[in-house]
């Protein structure tokens, strides 16, 4: 427990841990992998976790970023998949709440808060990943509608989602010519590939989404025409804090498993945890985890304070980069600390290591995070 965790936070953690421990096993198996289990999503909704970014008047809880961070940490401690698809859903809901009009609020937010609708974020393309401003998906005006054509890839919850935030070019090249549209999954012309076979995180599917002459009313434009890049950027800092929190949950779980192993397993007449070399490893991992948790909290706090956008961006990038690198190190060393058992699936740490690798890549690779941090430091931000 950290000093910033309130009794409400602790109760929420306990509720999440209890629900996940009772129900997760029913969903975490190969027959379900590649989908978002809707029953599990409904259980998350019952705890209020699908409406964290939605105002109370639309059925949500409008929680602060610190609370969101703790929720994601606890979900990832149990399983990274639900943490990821819940993060993305809440980011989509938050963007609709922030940039949408009254009708869009009424039409979408109550159903997203209740878990009736699952949201997905369709920005990445085969040739537009870190350089999102170079996307080529187009949206052409046709009367009071737009016709969208293009392909999106690596889209979380694709195939299970009920609506997509689709970013498409409506104007000039670069970020100034991009708009954002709310596209129902039932729209004619949408097709979704089979879920990708990933290295880990099996309970959060990703797939490609192809849009061929998909017609949406102009009422589904989110925010201003040609203002979509700003919509996307406004969600990135929160997304990076969420990924940092995911990393912390995974790392915490791995360190606990490793600690149990080294205090119970004996070699040469003593528990291996009594050996100085092992103690040094544990100390380094514990320090890395605590530093990552505090850096993530600092980034969340900057968001809740409405700090300048450049400050928030740097703090979020620092948290995401450091926490995910730390999680990769902690999970890898946890495998090492378990010895041969660490390489066996039944012990769980090899899975945590595979899941941690994904977090160094999504929401902007850690190379991109270092570029963001360094660029702003050179400008004299901090």
Residues annotated as catalytic (active site), given as ranges = 363
Task: Report H helices in the chain.
Answer: 7-23, 38-46, 65-78, 80-99, 102-114, 228-264, 276-304, 309-337, 349-359, 366-378
Helix (H) or strand (E) holding 214, with range, is strand 206-217
Location of structure tokens 């989110």: 222
Contact 150, 85 (CB under 8 A): no
What CA–CA distance (Å, rounded) separates 201 from 100?
31
Query: Residue 309 corresponds to which tokens in the numbers above?
Result: 């956008």
Q: Which long-range contacts (CB under 8 A, 24 or more apart) does 363-369 make?
A: 363/236, 363/239, 363/240, 363/242, 363/243, 363/320, 364/130, 364/236, 364/240, 364/317, 364/320, 365/130, 366/320, 366/321, 366/324, 366/325, 368/130, 369/240, 369/317, 369/318, 369/320, 369/321
């Amino acid at each position: 427990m950290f000093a910033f965790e309130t009794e409400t936070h602790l109760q929420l953690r306990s509720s999440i841990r209890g629900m996940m421990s009772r129900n997760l096993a029913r969903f975490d198996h190969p027959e379900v992998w590649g989908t978002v289990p809707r029953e599990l999503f409904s259980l998350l909704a019952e705890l209020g976790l699908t409406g964290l970014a939605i105002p109370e008047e639309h059925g949500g809880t409008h929680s602060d970023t610190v609370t969101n961070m703790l929720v994601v940490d606890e979900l990832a401690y149990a399983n990274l998949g639900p943490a990821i698809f819940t993060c993305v859903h809440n980011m989509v809901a938050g963007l609709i709440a922030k940039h949408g009009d009254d009708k869009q609020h009424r039409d979408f937010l109550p159903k997203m808060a209740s878990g009736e609708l699952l949201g997905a974020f369709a920005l990445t393309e085969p040739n537009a990943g870190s350089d999102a401003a170079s996307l080529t998906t187009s949206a052409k005006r046709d009367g009071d509608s737009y016709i969208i054509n293009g392909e999106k890839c690596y889209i979380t919850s694709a195939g299970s989602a009920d609506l997509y935030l689709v970013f498409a070019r409506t104007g000039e090249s670069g970020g100034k010519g991009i708009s954002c549209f709310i596209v129902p999954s039932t729209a004619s012309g949408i097709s979704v590939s089979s879920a990708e076979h990933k290295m880990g995180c099996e309970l959060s599917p990703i797939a490609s989404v192809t849009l061929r002459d998909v017609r949406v009313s102009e009422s589904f434009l989110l925010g201003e025409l040609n203002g979509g890049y700003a919509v996307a950027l406004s969600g990135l800092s929160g997304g990076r804090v969420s990924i940092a929190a995911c990393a912390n949950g995974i790392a915490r779980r791995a360190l606990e498993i490793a600690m149990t192993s080294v205090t119970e397993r004996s070699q040469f007449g003593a528990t291996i945890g009594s050996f100085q070399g092992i103690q040094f490893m544990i100390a380094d991992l514990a320090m890395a985890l605590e530093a990552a948790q505090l850096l993530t909290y600092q980034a969340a706090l900057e968001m809740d304070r409405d700090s300048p956008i450049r400050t928030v961006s740097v703090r979020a990038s620092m948290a995401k980069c450091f926490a995910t690198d730390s999680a990769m190190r902690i999970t890898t060393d946890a495998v090492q600390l378990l010895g041969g058992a660490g390489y066996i699936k039944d012990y769980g740490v090899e899975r945590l290591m595979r899941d941690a690798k994904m977090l160094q890549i999504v929401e902007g690779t850690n190379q991109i995070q270092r570029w963001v941090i360094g660029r702003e430091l050179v400008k004299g931000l901090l």
